[in-house]
Amino acid sequence: MKRALHALLRTPKGGITVNRRAFLTNSAITGLASSHAMGADFQNKRLRVGLIGCGWYGKCDLFRLLQVAPVEVVSLCDVDKRMLAEAVELISQRQVSKRKPRPFTDYREMLKERNMDIVLIATPDHWHALNMIAAVEAGADVYCQKPVSVDIAEGRAMLAAARKHQRVVQIGTQRRSTPHLVEAREIVREGRLGKIALVETCCYYHMRASGRPANANPPTYLDWEMWTGPAPMRPYNPVAHPRGWRAFMEYGNGIVGDMCVHMLDMTRWMMGLGWPKSVSSSGGILIDKASVANISDTQTAIFDYGDVKALWQHRTWGQASDPQYPWSATFYGDKGTLKASVMGYDFIPAQGQAIHKDVTYELDKYPEDRTEPDLEKHVAPAIRHHMEDFLHAVATRGCPVADIEEGYISTATCILANLSMKLGRTLEWDSAKQAVLHDEEANRLLHRPYRKPWVHP
């Protein structure tokens, strides 16, 4: 019964009746994956775990994993020695054995030992491809932060490596494991919105770096050469590290790569969408021209799925069009509207009773969440359920809910939006050929140059 319910939660198609939605959400999400992870699958073997990238979200992901499974963290890697030392101490306090993980400053040295069952990757985006491919080559299953990659060719190589080495790879698009969004998805799948022809996604957070601090010498505890890796070498700027690297296109794909990827992935998951037929985008730096950041402060995109159009808009200035849903997706159907975000959802039918649901917190069950620095408390349950789903796939050698292929599609679609904005034209995508139709200039941009001695996969 449990296995059947777990499959239903992750199956793209299938009829689930209205009166089973609450049961699926409450029983399957809060109990099913945990029972697998903590049950017979892991009683006889404590999985050995390594983390590459010990900053904010690396620790956040790892601590959630420690909350749901009896794993042993054996290795940590970061090019920031101060951040690495802090992570060693924190993790030794949090894991059952109280052992200190071995510290590494080069992920290749860490993976060379081939002693890890699972590797978590939370490096800046420009490192994801090389880290993930090396980890699966070392025999590990991988939990990799989103977006999958900075260019489309990297993502394709990551998918190929995961399949070649038969490794489970879960991507950190944890909206697919957010309890209230799993419930909202069933409203869509039951047809209660009717025919959905338009989805508007957005982010109006003022999250783009402001100011123009001077470049400087990197701190002595940071290996800036290794931090930069395959990306173009820029002078060290205090905005970039830690956490501010998303302000630079050299290391990621701006707010589209950071925030749109979540909402687009959620939309695809809820509606069973694959690749778009075309992508168009426009925008740029229209307001804050003084900032050191080179990512757009304003951007719109249209993802054309034929009978369904998905729109994106971000502004890092001004007010949100709906203050209750500043980062969200709104699904418009001919029988109703659904607004969905990390904080809850509202279903407004054309006829009948509206439904409102707030995010689920688990602070009583996991009291350490109350005091963990920088933790997004409303996101912690989603990460835990995402980890449980990942662990179940590891145990059964099945497919996780945010499999690398799903992450690749969502990431590549967002990258196409940035390429469209750069080129100033709509890009038609051939999903069979994995190429832009009739546009060689665009196809050349699917593969970015790597800085030597690093080699593009």
pLDDT at 59 over 90: yes
Spell out the CATH class of 191-369+408-444.
Answer: alpha beta
Which residue type occupies 296? S
- Beta strand 196-203 with 427-430 is unpaired
Tokens (6 digits) for 200: 């508007």
What are the two backbone dihedrals, phi and then psi, of residue 216, each rounded to the nearest 5 degrees?
-150, 175
All CATH 3.40.50.720 domain ranges in the chain, comma separated: 2-176+381-403
Mean pLDDT of 243-260: 98
Would you tell me the crossing angle of helices 152-164 and 128-137 to the nearest 10 degrees? 10
Helix ranges restricted to H, 338-436: 380-396, 404-423
Q: Which pLDDT band, with edges at 50, 70 and 90, does 44 fall under?
A: low
CA distances from 46 to 7, 100, 148 (A): 25, 16, 28
For residue 41, the model assigns a pLDDT of 52
For residue 311, the cross-strand partners are: 200, 302
CA atoms within 13 A on the CB side of 354: 10
Tokens (6 digits) for 47: 């999985």
Does residue 216 or residue 30 have the better pLDDT?
A: 216
Q: What percent of the chain has pLDDT over 90?
A: 90
For residue 3, the model assigns a pLDDT of 36
d(CA 260, CA 243): 18
User: 343, 184 in Cβ contact below 8 A?
Assistant: no
User: 413, 424 in Cβ contact below 8 A?
Assistant: no
Mean pLDDT of 404-423: 98
Per the listing, tokens 């990431």 go with 411
**CB burial class (10 A; 0-12, 13-18, 19+) of residue 335?**
middle
Q: Kindly report the length of the chain.
A: 457
For residue 72, the model assigns a pLDDT of 98
d(CA 166, CA 137): 10
Helix ranges restricted to H, 239-302: 254-255, 261-271
pLDDT at 308 over 60: yes
Quickly count: other Cβ atoms within 10 Å of residue 238's Cβ: 14
- 4-32 pLDDT tens trace: 333 333 333 332 223 333 333 433 443 44
What are the two backbone dihedrals, phi and then psi, of residue 58, each rounded to the nearest 5 degrees?
-60, -50
Q: What H or E segment, with its residue span, contains residue 179?
A: helix 179-189
CATH topology for 2-176+381-403?
Rossmann fold (3.40.50)
- 118-148 pLDDT tens trace: 999 999 999 999 999 999 999 999 999 999 9
All CATH 3.30.360.10 domain ranges in the chain, comma separated: 191-369+408-444
Quickly count: other Cβ atoms within 10 Å of residue 286's Cβ: 12
- 338-386 pLDDT tens trace: 999 999 999 999 999 999 999 999 999 999 999 999 999 999 999 999 9
For residue 21, the model assigns a pLDDT of 39
Which residue type occupies 42? F
Q: Which pLDDT band, with edges at 50, 70 and 90, does 45 fall under?
A: confident
d(CA 315, CA 397): 41
